[in-house]
């Protein structure tokens, strides 16, 4: 669980153009507020592949603050919504002061130290009914997740305590 503070939040946009979703919904739930951003996941549109800055946010520390990505648009074509990792940087703490926390499927990285978290029991990553893809690599050359169903969400919850974060 993280202490209160401000953090910069970034989303890891995959380098994958084939059938990429052009309009995903990203919700940043913090300090009793939900900010919504829509993102084009095609690497040739909007931000390039890699870390995409979502902004700076203040987290109050209630523990139920998180970043959630949801497939929001149905299509007649085969379009896949893919996601991998979210990074929290700034004046944030988890037991002791840290500058960067990255939540990825199967791991938690704090200040460049990677801890394997099989089954995502402790890292705050949740992707019910999403499929794992080992072919499309994400942050740190890890696997990524995908879905073709509207309304399915993937969540990164660092269990922040009060403070401000940039996502």
Q: Domains of the chain: which residue ranges? A: 2-166
Map tokens 């052009």 to a residue: 22
Higher pLDDT, 167 or 88: 88
Q: How many CB atoms lie within 10 A of CB 23?
A: 15
Q: What mean pLDDT, rounded, does the chain reach?
A: 81
Percentage of the residues of the chain whose pLDDT score is greater than 90: 21
Task: List CB contacts of 63: < 8 A, sequence separation 6 or more.
Answer: 1, 159, 160, 161
Residue that wins the pLDDT comparison between 160 and 18: 18
The DSSP call for residue 31 is T
Q: Which of 9-13, 71-75, 104-108, 130-134 has the lowest mean pLDDT?
A: 104-108
**Which pLDDT score, from 0 to 100, does residue 3 have?**
65
Q: Are 164 and 91 in contact, with CB atoms under 8 Å apart?
A: yes
* pLDDT recorded at residue 9: 93
Query: Tens of pLDDT along 19-55?
Result: 889 999 999 999 899 999 999 998 888 889 899 999 9
pLDDT value at residue 166: 58
Per-residue pLDDT at 90 exceeds 80: no
Give the up-direction half-sphere exposure of residue 107: CA atoms within 13 A in the CB hemisphere: 19
- pLDDT by residue (tens digit) across 136-146? 888 877 888 88
């Amino acid at each position: 669980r993280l202490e209160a503070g401000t953090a910069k939040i970034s989303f890891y946009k995959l380098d994958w153009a084939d059938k990429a979703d052009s309009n995903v919904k990203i919700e940043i739930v913090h300090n009793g507020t939900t900010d919504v951003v829509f993102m084009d996941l095609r690497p040739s549109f909007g931000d390039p592949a890699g870390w995409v800055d979502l902004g700076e946010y203040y987290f109050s520390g209630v523990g139920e603050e998180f970043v959630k990505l949801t497939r929001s648009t149905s299509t007649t074509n085969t379009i896949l919504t893919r996601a991998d990792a979210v990074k929290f940087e700034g004046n944030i703490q988890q037991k002791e002061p840290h500058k960067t926390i990255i939540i990825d499927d199967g791991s938690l990285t704090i200040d460049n130290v990677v801890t394997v978290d099989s089954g995502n029991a402790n890292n705050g990553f949740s992707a019910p009914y999403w499929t794992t893809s080992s072919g499309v690599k994400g942050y740190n050359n890890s696997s990524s997740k995908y879905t073709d169903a509207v309304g399915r969400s993937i969540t990164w919850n660092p269990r922040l305590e009060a403070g401000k974060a940039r996502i």
